[in-house]
A and B are shown apart, each in its own frame.
Chain A
Amino acid sequence: MAETNGSDTVTVYIDDEPVVVPKGITMIEAAEHVGKEIPHYCYHQKLSVVGNCRMCLVELGWPMKDRATGEPILEEDGSPKIGWGGKPGIACNQPVAEGIRMRTDSDLVRDCRHGVMEFLLVNHPLDCPICDQAGECKLQEYATEYGRGYSRFIEEKNPKPKRTVLGPRVILDDERCILCSRCVRFMQEIPGDDVLGFIDHGSYSTLTCYPGRELDSNYSLNTVDICPVGALTSRDFRFQMRVWFLKPVDSICTESSVGANTQVWAREGKIYRITPRQNDAVNDTWMTDSGRDLYKQVEAEDRLTTPFVRGIEATPVQALRETERLLRPSERVAVVASTHSSVEEQYFLRRIADRTGAQRYAVRHWGEEDGLLLSADRTPNTRGALLTGLLDELPKPDLRELGAAIDRGEIDTVLCIHEDPLACGLTVEQVRKVAWVRMATHASPADEHAFIALPSLTVFERSGTFINQQFRLQKFRAVVPGPAGLLTDLQQLASLNSLLEDGPVASVQPDHAWKELSAEPGPFAGLRFRTLPSEGVALDPGEHARHPFPERQSLKYEADSFLASLPAATTAS
């Protein structure tokens, strides 16, 4: 048996197998280390432990010690004598300790699970056919795997309220609630809004909101994610589609520079919901409610679906050639860059700007920060624009400087990515004075005055990378195909660049950009899109960390300590 050697690990025995695990975790987590699942409802990795569901009951044993001398008692063969507790214990609340034993598959443990499942199902409704959780319900899964398989219950079930509206986005079915208190603890511990709680006793126990309050936090939908059963359902996703038809694709939330990792669930080209994807360096297992709504932009009425040249419909290729014709001879070009663009798109826009000697502008989109997963910079990729060299300072509040340059007659062509000039302080006259080329996903009133409109794709329809507030490079993948016939933003910018360079126009994927990006010395050296891990990589920001970014504090980021954690050479001013 391994000695406690003052290191950070201990050896525990799970079903007689020795396992070396870090100190400070619990036995349920130790089992996970070796790929053993101990069924559980109330335990959640990111929440405090309450131990109220009893689903994780196991047999636990400790090496015995002589009370008088404190010496370990040994068996005849010299191995330590194990004192098995008289009763089963819960694995979720048992910290690991040197030499502790756990049986996860004995007859007693199986009996315990049968019993707990039976109690949970006593008053549970037969709702699976109409329950949104079906297919990802822990009660269904454990009933199959650990339940007795038949019911002994002949009594009438206990009715409870079934369609309680808890808040603008969440509905509660009390009959399905197993009173695990995950939702209560989440609201207390993560957003710190103690609005949920139980009232009454025994079979009358009911989850409810504090009197006069509702569950209206911008994090309320996380309770739906962690509810192990179908008690809490999302009003947006409710009854829309069965989960077994949906395919999840890894993506990144574009709501702010936090860059929460997400999964986007779609069936046959239609997106149904967005859920958080665990990344302990960025968002743990949470995301905002507002970020989950962003998929609606895909099917918005005002999507741009055809390219226009001087108000006449064109093919994407014609529109790009027309744009090239405008940019090529001109020495008075401006680009309006976007911090919504991916790193790859920004890289090609930089090459276009370099070649045409364009003046560069960008608009910032800042808002209130909530200290959790909504940061002050409401765009996903401001750091990308800096690190690719597209911008050398933070975006400005508006485009008035560009307006002044237009008025002075210094500009005659503007290549504008995503921004709406009229919303950024320009007048119709200023837009009309130049050849305005606008690449965007959605229509704006400015399009009427634009010379060329190049429709682009939403984040759900293209692939690429963003750099979040922690200078973490993270990738997102296309979930659904874009409107028929449209080119990706990356393809349009890369083609435009090739046309301007008189090079061949070819099909471009994110990795083509990375071939060139990774060849340059700097933060991107040696990186590739294809091999970028799904949890992203932290980049070395170098001098760029010193820009006056608006973000102060979020779940996993604190501006001052972030700066302090960087190598001294890069932060010394």
Chain B
Amino acid sequence: MAETKVLERKPLSLAERSNLPQIVSGLKTTVSHMFRKKVTLQYPEVRPTLPEGYRGVPTLVHDPHGREKCVSCQLCEFVCPPKAIRITPGEIDPEAETAHVEKAPKEFEIDMLRCIYCGLCEEVCPEEAIFLQDVYSMTGYSREEMVNNKEKLYELGGTLPDHHYKWDKKRAAEDAAKARGYAHS
């Protein structure tokens, strides 16, 4: 066993005993922070700017012509890892202006207690109808309140630009063909 080394303990100096140098150096740090750029926000009055590609609460969107883009293909329901999505598919009223799209969700629910914000629903959607946008704060007093229904999802989603107008083109072609009577003549 090694021999125990005995260290000499020096008594505290007067300056040390007064604590003043410590207070001064601490205050220096504090005061220097007063003049730096702020890193905190007055949340919730002030909100942060979110980086590009931020994955917030999944939402449903309309196209600039006001058409609901989701056609209830249920691919997002299938792909969602925690099974947070629940869709009741439905048929569009044959009298409606978008009748040629044929399908739209009757009900669409996302359980935000289950959602893990993975973004797979946005990735898989063939109609570019579901997006994880910039809403990050979801609160509620009950489990039911934490389930976003179709109405809420569209309210959160709003309108996003459309690059294809696939269905509008489709209807234009259909109308033109109908005017010709479909058959050749």
Residues of A whose CB lies within 8 Å of any CB of B are 125-126, 128-130, 134, 156-163, 200-201, 204, 206, 238-242, 244-245
| Complex: A474 Cα to B75 Cα, angstroms | 37
Known: A128-B126, A130-B73, A200-B184. A238 touches B174 (CB 8 A): no
Closest chain B residue to A240 by CB distance?
B89
| Complex: A21 Cα to B131 Cα, angstroms | 55
- Which listed segment binds A: B99-107, B109-117, B136-144, B155-163? B99-107
B127 touching A129 by the CB < 8 A rule? Answer: yes
Known: A126-B166, A159-B174. A204 touches B102 (CB 8 A): no
Known: A129-B127, A245-B74. A200 touches B173 (CB 8 A): no
A242 touching B74 by the CB < 8 A rule? Answer: yes
| Complex: A240 Cα to B100 Cα, angstroms | 18
Q: Pick the contact of A239: B91, B126, B127, B182 (CB < 8 A).
A: B91
A129 touching B73 by the CB < 8 A rule? Answer: yes
Set of chain B residues within 8 Å of A134, measured between Cβ atoms: 73
User: B78 in the interface, Cβ–Cβ < 8 Å?
Assistant: yes
B166 touching A239 by the CB < 8 A rule? Answer: no
User: B176 in the interface, Cβ–Cβ < 8 Å?
Assistant: yes
| Complex: A436 Cα to B81 Cα, angstroms | 54
| Complex: A428 Cα to B170 Cα, angstroms | 63
User: B153 in the interface, Cβ–Cβ < 8 Å?
Assistant: no
Number of interface residues of B (CB under 8 A): 27
B138 to chain A, nearest CB (A): 26
Known: A126-B166, A129-B127, A239-B91. A162 touches B174 (CB 8 A): yes
Set of chain A residues within 8 Å of B21, measured between Cβ atoms: none
- What are 15 A-B contacts with C-beta separation under 8 Å? A129-B103, A129-B126, A130-B73, A156-B173, A157-B173, A159-B182, A162-B100, A200-B184, A204-B182, A206-B182, A239-B102, A242-B73, A242-B74, A242-B78, A244-B78
B185 to chain A, nearest CB (A): 10
Q: Name B11-41 residues within 8 Å CB distance of A.
A: none
Known: A238-B91, A239-B91. 19 other contacts (CB 8 A): A126-B166, A128-B73, A128-B126, A129-B71, A130-B71, A157-B173, A159-B173, A159-B178, A163-B94, A200-B183, A200-B184, A201-B184, A206-B183, A239-B102, A240-B89, A241-B89, A242-B74, A242-B89, A245-B74
B103 touching A161 by the CB < 8 A rule? Answer: no
Q: Does more than half of chain A's interface fall in helix, strand or loop, or is it mixed? A: loop
Known: A162-B100, A239-B89, A239-B103. A129 touches B173 (CB 8 A): no
Known: A159-B176, A239-B91. A130 touches B103 (CB 8 A): yes
Set of chain B residues within 8 Å of A163, measured between Cβ atoms: 94, 102
Set of chain B residues within 8 Å of A162, measured between Cβ atoms: 100, 174
Q: Does more than half of chain B's interface fall in helix, strand or loop, or is it mixed? A: mixed
| Complex: A201 Cα to B73 Cα, angstroms | 33
A161 touching B91 by the CB < 8 A rule? Answer: no
Q: Please, what's the 1-or-0 string for B140-153, where 1 marks a CB less than 8 Å from any CB in chain A?
A: 00000000000000
User: B90 in the interface, Cβ–Cβ < 8 Å?
Assistant: yes
Q: Pick the contact of B184: A129, A204, A241, A242 (CB < 8 A).
A: A204
A130 touching B101 by the CB < 8 A rule? Answer: yes
User: B177 in the interface, Cβ–Cβ < 8 Å?
Assistant: yes
Q: Which 9 A-B pairs have the closest CB atoms?
A: A159-B177, A129-B73, A130-B103, A242-B74, A129-B126, A159-B173, A159-B174, A204-B184, A130-B71
B117 to chain A, nearest CB (A): 24
A130 touching B183 by the CB < 8 A rule? Answer: no
A293 to chain B, nearest CB (A): 19
Set of chain B residues within 8 Å of A159, measured between Cβ atoms: 173-174, 176-178, 182
Set of chain A residues within 8 Å of B100, measured between Cβ atoms: 162
| Complex: A125 Cα to B173 Cα, angstroms | 12
Closest chain A residue to B103 by CB distance?
A130
Set of chain B residues within 8 Å of A238, measured between Cβ atoms: 91
A165 to chain B, nearest CB (A): 11
Closest chain A residue to B106 by CB distance?
A239
Most B CB atoms within 10 A — which of A128, A159, A200, A238?
A159
Known: A241-B89, A242-B74. A204 touches B173 (CB 8 A): no
Set of chain B residues within 8 Å of A156, measured between Cβ atoms: 173
Most A CB atoms within 10 A — which of B100, B173, B176?
B173
Set of chain A residues within 8 Å of B94, measured between Cβ atoms: 163
Set of chain B residues within 8 Å of A242, measured between Cβ atoms: 73-74, 78, 89
| Complex: A201 Cα to B184 Cα, angstroms | 9
